[in-house]
Amino acid sequence: MRVLRSSRGAQIVDGRDVVSELLRLPGPTHGLFDVLAACVAALAPGRRVAVLGFAAGGFVAPLRAMGFDAALNCVDASRDGEALFRELAADWAGDVRVTHADAAVWLRRQRRRYDVVLEDLSIPRTRKHDGTKPEISVSVLPGLIRRRVTARGVVITNLIPVPGHTWPELEHRVSQPYRHAAVIHFRDFENRVLIASDHLESAARLSRAVRAKLRWIASIQSERVLIRTLATQRHGR
């Protein structure tokens, strides 16, 4: 991992992958983090937010620029990124609470339910693979997250290729506990963002809502994303 600093802020980079990008002031990163923030700001049915995989909080600058000022309850197994976040964002980030723990352990200890859960976990690249998601994101976390989401809650997952799983398998495993799901595709990135809930608007309405938040902060991603509905019936509660 390397930290690359600039006049705008700093990036945490793992090989070719930007793990996190933190700005010195609220505003657009013009990348994936804008879209994650837009999904939270546009779709959260309430103000109780949980974030699994904080890194250096790259989504916080665009999220605050969108006017979403709710407290953020975050968890990350590493402490490396939080110090950088506190250094650059302390004056404007608002209430951001970071617990250093395993995401599954943290979820099992929770007693409250959340209106939105952002799952942005990743693990570093190896000699065989680029950065990917931990296996628990496919096997364990979907069920654990389901228990911690309110009846109208929304789950937003940053999907990265996982060795041994096709894209359809990943999408199915992560969205299976819910009645409805949609996927955001990017022109610029391999990642996909999966949105799942028992109560979800059509892809067209989701697209308008997310794009409106991106346009609000003048992010170039407003015209570079495509949202489609997953056709498979979800099981729900």
Q: What pLDDT, in 10s, does the model give residues 107-149?
A: 999 999 999 999 999 987 655 556 789 999 999 999 999 999 9
SS3 content of the chain, % helix, strand, coil (to 5): 30, 30, 40
Distance CA 114, CA 44 (A): 10
What is the C-alpha to C-alpha distance for residues 68 and 91, in angstroms, rounded to an integer? 16
pLDDT at residue 131, as a whole number: 76
Do residues 227 and 207 touch, judged by C-beta distance below 8 A?
Answer: yes
Integer Cα distance of 31 and 98 in angstroms: 23
Q: What pLDDT shows up at residue 182?
A: 97
Assign 20 a pLDDT band (cuts: 50, 70, 90).
Answer: confident
Task: Give the residue among 97, 93, 141, 143 at the shortest CA–CA distance from 119.
Answer: 141
Q: Does domain 27-83+93-229 have CATH number 3.40.50.1100?
A: no
pTM, to two decimals: 0.94
> 104, 141 in Cβ contact below 8 A?
yes
User: Which stretch of 50-54, 162-166, 184-188, 213-217 has the lowest confidence by average pLDDT?
Assistant: 162-166
Above 90 in pLDDT, residue 72? yes
- The confidence score (pLDDT) of residue 91 equals 96
Question: 43-82 burial, b if ≥16 CB within 10 A, otherwise e?
Answer: bbeeebbbbbbbbbbbbbbbbbbbebebebbbbbbeeebb
Domain map of the chain by residue range? 27-83+93-229
Residue 202: band (very low, low, confident or very high) from pLDDT cuts 50, 70, 90: very high
Asked whether residue 235 carries a pLDDT value surpassing 60, the answer given is no
The pLDDT value recorded for residue 130 is 67
